[in-house]
Chains A and B, each alone.
Chain A
């Protein structure tokens, strides 16, 4: 994305004029660092999105941190079961603000293929943490994950640092 500013030519160079909100959003959305978190099959497609063919580091997601203290984004890839739910909540709480969540795969949206007749699966990760973007699929293709990341970047660009968040499109 091009730098969100206007250049006013003056005698000795120029002045760049922009809104503070737009600059902060531009910086935040283009360098989201995901947390290394994958429980089951969707984690393999997440690793495929990180490799050389689909390459998520083109979008700024280069550094995947192992510790939640240094991560901005948690991509929940894989089924969450009742024993894992407190662990996920603790990881989410340890992440510093601003933080975002992508729910990847059918299991995290609603329990997915494990909805009926299971006693231990949490039917949707939004029972535990608030989710920003949902990706359907079992497992979703790496291109779907990249599409979700771009959607999240669009969502971040509509945030306001001072005042209320605008709705996208208004």
Chain B
């Protein structure tokens, strides 16, 4: 499927989404509330068949957090990116997708560990890489650590 076809059929199902085609892959911008319906449609609809989630991460833009999901369809050989903007930076929350793609389990724990985003209904919401009683979320831009030596 080409980018145009994907845009048309996704807009038919979810009229509120917007698109960004400046990068290498087609980017779909959604709100956190419609994350699960959009992801389920992309995964299970036969015409999309995006069965491979290859990158799940978060970017801290200081005024908001942006969750980024990279998807690949092995059947149609097509890549897209889905982005969801989280406006609340004090207590960020979004729903989990680890029952749709099982790889999201570890990735979401890592995002919680380093950014502090809580995933609702995640089966095991604990820190992954840092110690359990570590203070703070290191990859946030406002992270302060007196043990860190900066150039």
Residues of A within 8 A of B (CB): 82-83, 115-120, 123
Given A82-B131, A83-B130, A83-B131: A119 in contact with B149 (beta carbons within 8 A): no
Question: Chain B's interface: helix, strand, loop or mixed, by majority?
Answer: loop
Question: Cα distance A116–B151 when bound, in Å?
Answer: 6
Question: Cα distance A118–B147 when bound, in Å?
Answer: 9
Residues of B within 8 A of A (CB): 130-131, 138, 143, 145, 147-151
Q: Which residues on A sit within 8 Å (CB–CB) of B149?
A: 115-117, 123
Residue of B nearest to A122 (CB): B147
Q: Which residues on B sit within 8 Å (CB–CB) of A115?
A: 149
Residue of B nearest to A123 (CB): B149
Question: Chain A's interface: helix, strand, loop or mixed, by majority?
Answer: loop
Asked if A120 contacts B130 (CB within 8 A), the reply is yes
CB distance from A40 to the nearest CB of B (A): 15
Question: Cα distance A119–B145 when bound, in Å?
Answer: 7
Question: Cα distance A8–B151 when bound, in Å?
Answer: 66
Asked if B130 contacts A117 (CB within 8 A), the reply is no
Question: Cα distance A117–B130 when bound, in Å?
Answer: 16
Excluding A119-B145, A119-B148, 18 further A-B contacts by CB distance (< 8 Å) are A82-B131, A83-B130, A83-B131, A115-B149, A116-B149, A116-B150, A116-B151, A117-B148, A117-B149, A117-B150, A117-B151, A118-B148, A119-B138, A119-B143, A119-B147, A120-B130, A120-B138, A123-B149
CB distance from B144 to the nearest CB of A (A): 10
Question: Cα distance A120–B149 when bound, in Å?
Answer: 11
Question: Cα distance A168–B147 when bound, in Å?
Answer: 37
